[in-house]
Chain A
Amino acid sequence: DAGVIQSPRHEVTEMGQEVTLRCKPISGHDYLFWYRQTMMRGLELLIYFNNNVPIDDSGMPEDRFSAKMPNASFSTLKIQPSEPRDSAVYFCACSGGETPYNEQFFGPGTRLTVL
């Protein structure tokens, strides 16, 4: 398996623009997580899905953020409109399959810069 795939790897946009981040999890892993990482706050959980259904979105900072998982092999995180304070590295991770202790497998991340 190729592991978790995220695109794009880097995104530079201007304030007010819509940003869409994409994730393809490992096949057979039925949990998918979106995280945001900054120096100040570390790794923060934004939302997670189980079998394509959102389970906990309490970490989503505000209504400008939305996430979808239309099928088991694809998820998106959208920011509309984007603001400079959204600049961070966004990770997608997955778990499930045969891992017994909720171990998570992370993608390489998308580095977002909002000017």
Chain B
Amino acid sequence: TQLLEQSPQFLSIQEGENLTVYCNSSSVFSSLQWYRQEPGEGPVLLVTVVTGGEVKKLKRLTFQFGDARKDSSLHITAAQPGDTGLYLCAGDQGGSEKLVFGKGTKLTVNP
């Protein structure tokens, strides 16, 4: 059983479209992080959300942490081919330095 479920698993859209990907769990996290991984590279941190209900914006990317700190979403406005990659969410349950990773959403933005 995956502690963090990400959906959809795959997403292929056209340039200019909007999209939302989700990261859900039955567990509470003290913080949640989003990473983007491009082909042939390691994951790179995009943002950390800490407070329930928190919304953070990073240019065209909007991240939200659920009120109960069990889920999160990532919304991309006017997607561009450069947004293509694997989006991973990772939760910190507190008490150790370990993170729990979801399996990711593989996004392809076609020109």
- Which A residues fall within an 8 A CB radius of B? 4, 31, 41-43, 45, 48, 50, 55-56, 91, 93, 95-96, 101-109
Contact = CB atoms under 8 A, between A and B. Distances in A.
Contact of A108 (B42, B92, B99): B42
Interface of B: 2, 31, 33, 35, 40-45, 48, 50, 88, 90, 92, 96-99, 101-104
Given A50-B97, A95-B97, A109 B42 contact: yes
B42 A102 contact: no
17 contacts: A4-B42, A31-B97, A42-B101, A42-B102, A43-B103, A55-B97, A56-B96, A91-B42, A95-B97, A101-B33, A101-B50, A101-B92, A102-B31, A102-B92, A102-B98, A103-B48, A108-B42
Chain A contact residues: helix, strand, loop or mixed: strand
